[in-house]
Chain A
């Protein structure tokens, strides 16, 4: 399996794929925005504020998903001593942080007209803020530690600390009383969002996922170029 991760083969993909990904991203984003801003109906209760959700929810999903991937990659990279997993994690992190911040900011903008406050220290919002802090810690660790052995251990530890927060974010709305509403989209039970609003949500999620993929490919490409210049031994 690890043979597939040979830098030269990967480099061929990472240097060519971005232009296809960006084209697909623009197409999906345009359709998604058209659905989210114009074609989808307003909500019966919150009217047009509901459109903020089409950015807020996908951004939150992606940032949670990316952090989980980073953790999985870091842990398996640490156990199997595979250094490429760490480079993949490092390249994934920036878009995760950006989407985490996007989720917090759009949530705040939505909160003012609906709840009547910009910010509340409830479990969901606070745990999401903690996720942003863990993303920052993770990225700062990569900047501070130049010694590769050290950076591998420290970033793995940060992700293990951070991953405990992920189920807390997900289930905070079920475990405790929170101002934040519970999940509308459920796999096990019936979703409480109308299908006409589900479509833009899925399209925007796909667009954001493509954006993350694009940033990841570009970052990873840079990492591979650095690696080529330094030589594999110096990783």
Chain B
């Protein structure tokens, strides 16, 4: 139906596309460590050795774990399998609260303690008016 040249061009484009997709896939796969924005507490528990590099740890703020003292905020990040204690001094974002997502940036002191230098609140994908939230709670 189509000329030979059309077919050749089609195959050529397809080949370029496949080669590029494969190379991008391989690059992303090998750099996965850097593509991931934060690690989970479980990832931290399983690393063979601790290094002094700055990392980010993300998860949920454990319920009833926030302790605010004079100039520091302590809380626990959990992924419902493992937990890590976070020590932080400074201002927290407005959306930072118990039972909500959080990403802490800083240094690991040991496998259980994390000294954060920056706290980011992670918003989840749920959007609803306050009345609906109330109604959901009552259920």
Contact = CB atoms under 8 A, between A and B. Distances in A.
Contacts of B113: none
A156 B16 CA distance: 11
A41 B125 contact: no
Given A75-B13, A116-B92, A181 B124 contact: yes
Contact of A177 (B6, B13, B28, B38): B38
B127 A184 contact: yes
B10 A114 contact: no
A37 B39 CA distance: 37
A121 B34 CA distance: 10
A116 B9 CA distance: 49
A75 B9 CA distance: 9
A164 to B, nearest CB: 5
Contact of B132 (A122, A176, A183, A194): A194
B130 A164 contact: no
Contacts of A78: 9, 13
A79 B128 contact: no
Interface in B19-40: 20-21, 24, 28, 32, 35-40
Which of A44, A46, A114 gathers most chain B CB within 10 Å?
Answer: A44
B54 interface: no
A162 to B, nearest CB: 10
Interface residues of B, number: 42
B119 interface: yes
Given A115-B123, A177-B36, A179-B38, A41 B130 contact: yes
A192 B10 contact: no
B73 interface: no
A115 B96 CA distance: 8
B121 interface: yes
A183 B95 contact: no
A119 B9 CA distance: 41
Consensus secondary structure, chain B interface: mixed
Contacts of A183: 125
A21 B128 CA distance: 33
Given A41-B131, A192-B126, A164 B120 contact: no
B48 interface: no
Given A44-B132, A114-B93, A164-B21, A184 B126 contact: yes
Contact of B129 (A43, A79, A176): A43
A53 interface: yes
A54 B84 CA distance: 36
Contacts of B71: none
B58 interface: yes
A79 B127 contact: no
A194 B128 CA distance: 5
Contacts of B100: 45
5 contacts: A44-B129, A50-B127, A164-B20, A176-B35, A184-B127
A190 to B, nearest CB: 11
Contact of A44 (B21, B121, B130): B130
Contact of B121 (A114, A168, A192): A114
Given A43-B129, A44-B128, A184-B127, A161 B20 contact: yes
B125 A120 contact: no
B125 A192 contact: yes
Contacts of B45: none
A184 to B, nearest CB: 4
B72 to A, nearest CB: 17
